[in-house]
Amino acid sequence: MITLVPQPAAKVRRPRASLHVLRITLILHAAFVIAQPVAAGYFLSGNVDAMTSVHSTVGGTIWMIALLQTVAAACYTLAGRGRIWPALVSVLLVVAEFVQLTFGYLQNFAVHVPLGTAIVGTVCWMTVWSFRRTARLSRREAKR
């Protein structure tokens, strides 16, 4: 009679530290993009200083945070062996936020407002996703 001895499962490398860094940058990014419509609302309610002192300053900062998020997402993808799409979406957010910044300074609100809404939704969605169980899976595990 042949007895089969179970083999230990191959150790799968999962994103850990890179996921924590990505989460931190996403939380920071989400806080800043959520502050933007609030600052615009203060401006529309009559606080003229809200546009120059808060909204435009935070807008320039958000673009830089998106660059940091892209680096963190690339580390999550490459070093942590996480999924590829967070890095790709982060690159798209950098481009979208640069366009957003440009159209904001041009005062083209037909592009600025809907694009801002899409940015807020995307960053908040990515932030929530980063705390889900599936964010901890490696690319190999996610394919199953």
**Rounded-to-integer distance, Cα 49 and Cα 51, Å:** 5
pLDDT at 144: 67
Residue 91 has pLDDT above 80, yes or no: yes
Residue 33 has pLDDT above 80, yes or no: yes
Which of the four pLDDT bands, split at 50, 70 and 90, describes residue 94?
very high
Biggest CA–CA distance in the chain, Å, is: 86
pLDDT at 97: 96
And the tokens for 86? 């967070």
Residue 4 has pLDDT above 80, yes or no: no
**C-alpha angle with apex 139: 136 to 144, nearest 5 degrees?**
95
**Rounded-to-integer distance, Cα 32 and Cα 42, Å:** 15
pLDDT at 1: 64
